[in-house]
Chain A
Amino acid sequence: MLELTPKKVSDRSTLRINPIKTCQPVGAMYAALGVHQCMPHSHGSQGCCSFHRMFLTRHFKDPAIASSSSFTEGASVFGGGSNLKTAIKNIFDIYDPEIIAVHTTCLSETIGDDLNGYIQDAKVPEGKLVVHTNTPSYVGSHITGYYNMISGFIKYLSMATGEKNGKLALFPGFVNPGDMREMKRLMKLMGTEFIMLPDTSGVLDAPMTGTYTMYPKGGTTIPDIRDLGNCEMTLGLGELTSEFPADFLEKKCKVPYKTLPLPIGVENTDAFIMALNQFSKNEVPYEIEEERGQLMDILLDSHQYTHNKTVAIFGDPDTVLGMAQIALEMGMIPKYMVTGTPGAAFDRKAAALLEKFGVEGCTAKQAGDLFELHQWIKNDPVDLLIGGTHGKQVARAEDIPLVRVGFPIIDRYVHSYMPIVGYKGAIRLAELILNALMDRQDRDCEDEDLEMVM
């Protein structure tokens, strides 16, 4: 497999091979699914909507609902205004959401569709809402689309009434429903009142009930999105993902913000808990201290198996940085850190992280791809790969274990229900990483070296 990947790294400035990103609209669709009774709407060709739903379904193993403007030749020439008008009417008539969240596509952006105008002119039933965001597929990545959609909700709905609500606005970053659940659990334990946008828990990890509901119970409610403008402050988790909407909310509603790395690993979770502590002024309860202590215990018990192991991490920028943090905390060396999402901030943050731990000889790259990562590994291999499903070809070709973390994971189950954030998430990551390394040792060692007790 992948025998076409040459060892020699050649100049490749235009050709993208085996991407570690996808386009903005799928991120926007994911964000919109985290709003209660919301229909994400793709304003473009039919295939976009179908591909995005398929992509999300493959990752979450749950239905991902969204509608499409279904562009035809005519729309591509005369604009998609009438398609959107018809779509809005049809969606409210038959699927009856509370809100439609429109995102654009490369096509509707290129032909210059004026979404503001279209939505103003649209007939929206009393009490229902339509919001939009621009998600040109040729800018940024799905991460960009995700935070653009969050900002779109804020732009249309959030208002500062002048009366503060005493709540924390939380942007969770591009994470799974399982992570969002864990963030909520920690905030509740810390006695923090919060509004989280989006919240895909209870939507893309909805329970099996024997009936199919287009709009499951979860998701941020519309009153809560409006009320974001009255929050005391914003905490944006995942600095490269959540700064944009946090800044947007500050500009619109004067809600001051702070950003932190995704709470992956010890130090990042500590920072999250301390931020909650400062906000709520509540003591850290024993329950959280106990979890932290358990994590310490586990890291200590197992440190010999992880120390100095080299690892290649690929995926979304904040996830990669978080995984590099926990890898370093486990004594591992994040030799390669690659994200497909463009943005020089990733390189700077990765360099700062390495400096903090005093580790040298590692490479970080934004706007990279898996083909190049594979070439690096061919030249100088690693002990472990961490990333999404698409790394499985490289893992097989180079015979390196793969720990599946991030997006998308389309060849395994359960992952989206389980957190990687918080101390609990760190315990889970430690187990995944240790199992991968130790299974490997059991598999590769000589008969006489097979250890019963490890």
Chain B
Amino acid sequence: MKNDAAILPERAQSIRFSECSGDGIKCESASVSGAVSQRACVYCGARVVLNPITDAFHLVHGPIGCASYTWDIRGSLSSDEEGYRNSYSTDLRETDVIFGGEKKLVAAIDEIMASHAPKVIFIYATCIVGVIGDDIDAVCRNAEAKYGIRVIAVKSPGFSGTKKTGYKMACNAIMSLITPEFLPAKTAGVNILGDFNLAGEMWIIKNYLRRIGVEVVANITGDAKVEDLKQAPAAQLNLVQCAGSMTYLAKQMEEVFDIPFIKVSFFGVTDTSDSLMRIAYAVGDKEVIKRAKAFIEEEKNRVIPLLDKYKKNLEGKKAAIYVGGGFKAISLIRQFHEFGMNTVMVGTQTGSKDDYEVIQHLVDEDAVILDDANPAELEAFMKEMGADILVGGVKERPLAYKLGVAFCDHNHERKHPLAGYEGTLNFASEINLSMNSPVWEIISQGGIKNV
């Protein structure tokens, strides 16, 4: 084991050097008390999945913080409704904690209904709601009866698991919303699961599918509207993108609506092309297969020469990855490979054992693999492995910059769409701009050496 000083003893099982074998990495468990974890909570997981439903009202039942921190932060774009970009909360106060918050929740729903006509209200129950004994199921039932709309409880106290538990709570809420009384007849269309339309990525993918002749029934949940979501059971196939959050929903939809699913990824030329072909074959229409082949050929011819221009700047550089889900990490490793870059460190917040096995096969023998890492570990391994760029989220950006390492946000704060062929170009452009910015020259002039 290297870098002993930076690793909590309890954390040793969550860090693997790729050459290690044995039982595999310890993951999908609660964080160690006292660790400076980069991980979020159950509520966060539930909220990020449901938030992109643009015409839903998202009412946070609890003290103000949870509503403040999740107000319009996701970067999920909408083609129409903007209601989801507001922050609604019951802002529980001390008296509510003592006497219960149910009355306040009922009144808050009434106040929403007094001036708006939402089709669905999601009620997020945060940490203390269960502890103070609020029966939010009853409140939701009564509100549904009173107003004839869907009012769905999302029980997401932060302590009740990891962010992944929150994804499940969100998936349950979606199932509750879209399950019809009678199953509709199947159409030729597909659903897209696990794209949140960050920077408009859902639109890119929908456009690709349109080009190869595949109709999209429902977007889950990027740029989604309630009425469209309710059509989802009619689809013949589910495409699962963010596998970490949506495999659970896909499995439920398979069981209840008889919709099979395939996992897809639209990060990088290889994964995008593979995914489009797999979709075409899964749909099974000869015309679609033909069109997919032609489309991929056309796009590759357009994009690869452009990527080659970046490649001379990127080849041989070392990448470090710290992202939410394992599936995205895998896609990124492949993408860096396409650019001629080597991934030397890779970590996730919520990756599964299967994900880590795949990762281990994709990276070099001496690469470092981490589950639920903290800043000290990220720092130690980025330095040790000599990473040129870190791909991560909001909390990792200033860390990378302090170390003099380039950075690309592949999370809520991504600046451009990073999915599909366009996204690959954007990604190459962004990491090229960051890694080869004159800023590195300037900061090294003062005697500060780059890592």
Contact = CB atoms under 8 A, between A and B. Distances in A.
B127 A19 contact: no
Contacts of A16: 64, 67, 87-91
A83 B33 contact: yes
Interface string B410-424: 000000000000000
Interface string A3-33: 1101000111111111101110110000000
A22 B63 CA distance: 9
A21 B68 contact: yes
A67 B374 CA distance: 10
Given A3-B82, A4-B116, A51 B44 contact: yes
A68 B38 contact: no
A36 B183 CA distance: 63
Interface stretch (B191-199, B336-344, B393-401): B393-401
B33 A90 contact: yes
Contacts, number: 255
A50 B398 contact: no
Interface residues of A, number: 82
Interface string B422-451: 000000000000000000000100001111
Given A58-B394, A84-B33, A110-B128, A50 B41 contact: yes
B65 A48 contact: yes
A208 B71 contact: no
B169 to A, nearest CB: 13
Interface string A403-423: 000000000000000000000
B420 to A, nearest CB: 27
B159 A57 contact: no
Which among A21, A47, A65 has the highest number of chain B CB atoms within 10 Å? A47
Contacts of A88: 34
Contact of A393 (B85, B94, B395, B401): B85
A110 B158 contact: no
Given A46-B37, A71-B158, A110 B132 contact: yes
A86 B128 CA distance: 23
A334 B35 CA distance: 46
Q: In this complex, which of A41, A55, A69, A71 has the most chain B Cβ atoms within 10 angstroms of its Cβ?
A: A71
Interface string A116-146: 0000000000000000000011110100000
A46 B404 contact: no
B145 interface: no
A76 interface: yes
A88 B8 CA distance: 13
Nearest to B105: A14
Interface residues of B, number: 82
Given A22-B69, A62-B398, A63-B398, A111 B448 contact: no
B187 interface: no
B178 to A, nearest CB: 24
B96 interface: yes
Interface in A45-79: 45-55, 57-58, 60-63, 65-73, 75-76
A64 to B, nearest CB: 8
B83 interface: yes
A2 interface: yes
B89 A46 contact: no
B92 interface: yes
A44 interface: yes
A47 B43 contact: yes
Contact of A46 (B31, B63, B128, B132): B31
A174 interface: no
A54 B394 contact: yes
Contact of A72 (B65, B93, B159): B159
B115 interface: yes
Given A2-B82, A57-B398, A107-B159, A10 B114 contact: yes
Contact of A44 (B69, B93, B158): B158
A187 B104 CA distance: 48
Given A16-B67, A90-B10, A210-B403, A4 B83 contact: yes
B131 interface: yes
A45 B158 contact: yes
A11 B42 CA distance: 33
B65 A25 contact: yes
A138 B69 contact: no
Nearest to A105: B127
A87 B34 contact: yes
A25 B127 CA distance: 14
A222 B359 CA distance: 45
Given A25-B65, A45-B41, A53-B395, A139 B94 contact: yes
B86 interface: yes
A23 B68 contact: yes
A392 B350 CA distance: 33
B376 interface: yes
A73 B96 CA distance: 22
Contacts of B104: 14
A45 B63 contact: no
B87 A22 contact: no
A55 B395 CA distance: 9
Contacts of A44: 127, 158-159
Nearest to B97: A138
A48 B68 CA distance: 12
Nearest to B379: A212
Interface stretch (A91-99, A265-273, A298-306, A432-440): A91-99
A147 interface: no
B375 interface: yes
Contacts of A18: 71, 86-87
Contacts of A206: 402
B32 interface: yes
B31 A70 contact: yes
Contacts of B161: 73
A1 B85 contact: yes
Interface in B44-94: 44, 59, 62-72, 82-83, 85-94
A111 B129 CA distance: 11
A338 to B, nearest CB: 15
Interface in A216-262: none
Contacts of A278: none
Given A14-B90, A67-B35, A68-B37, A106 B127 contact: yes
Nearest to A60: B398
Shortest Cβ-Cβ A-B pairs, 10 listed: A47-B41, A45-B158, A23-B65, A90-B34, A87-B34, A16-B91, A137-B63, A22-B68, A51-B69, A71-B159
Given A6-B115, A61-B398, A68-B31, 9 more contacts: A17-B88, A18-B86, A19-B71, A19-B87, A25-B65, A47-B42, A50-B38, A73-B160, A209-B448
28 contacts: A2-B86, A4-B83, A13-B111, A15-B111, A16-B89, A17-B89, A21-B64, A44-B127, A47-B44, A50-B44, A57-B395, A58-B394, A61-B397, A61-B398, A67-B34, A67-B36, A69-B33, A88-B34, A89-B34, A106-B62, A110-B132, A138-B93, A138-B96, A139-B93, A210-B403, A210-B443, A210-B451, A212-B379
